[in-house]
């Protein structure tokens, strides 16, 4: 998968999720509780496609940028929650 595929997946997933809300007459109730199997299927598959597309985009673009930003902060500026250096050996 590449960035264009992931963006198209996310866009199609959001369109699938919006269809039942925008065009309710296309999805007549078919269940005993008044729900539509078509609408439920589109909602579920839309959520899956959005998760696939957005998951790839986060892993491929957002995470590396966050790592670059956080690694640019010097160790002396990290504040009180700095992790101690594991290579330093205490005196005996």
Residue 49 backbone phi and psi in degrees, to 5? -65, -40
Spatial distance between the Cα atoms of 86 and 23, rounded to a whole number of angstroms: 59
Band (pLDDT 50/70/90 cuts) for residue 67 is confident
Q: Which long-range contacts (CB under 8 A, 24 or more apart) does 28-36 make?
A: none
Band (pLDDT 50/70/90 cuts) for residue 89 is low
Please, are residues 45 and 16 in contact by the beta-carbon 8 Å criterion?
A: yes
Model-wide pTM > 0.85: no
pLDDT single digits (tens) 18-64 = 999 999 999 999 988 989 999 999 999 999 999 999 999 999 999 88
Spatial distance between the Cα atoms of 17 and 21, rounded to a whole number of angstroms: 8
Spatial distance between the Cα atoms of 9 and 13, rounded to a whole number of angstroms: 6
């Amino acid at each position: 998968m590449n960035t264009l595929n992931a963006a198209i997946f996310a866009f199609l997933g959001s369109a699938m999720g919006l269809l039942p809300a925008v065009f309710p007459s296309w999805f007549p109730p078919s269940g005993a509780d008044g729900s539509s199997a078509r609408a439920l299927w589109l909602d579920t598959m839309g959520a899956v496609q959005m998760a696939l597309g957005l998951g790839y985009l986060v892993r491929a673009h957002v995470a590396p940028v966050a790592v670059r930003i956080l690694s640019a902060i010097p160790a002396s500026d990290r504040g009180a929650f700095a992790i101690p250096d594991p290579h330093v050996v205490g005196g005996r």
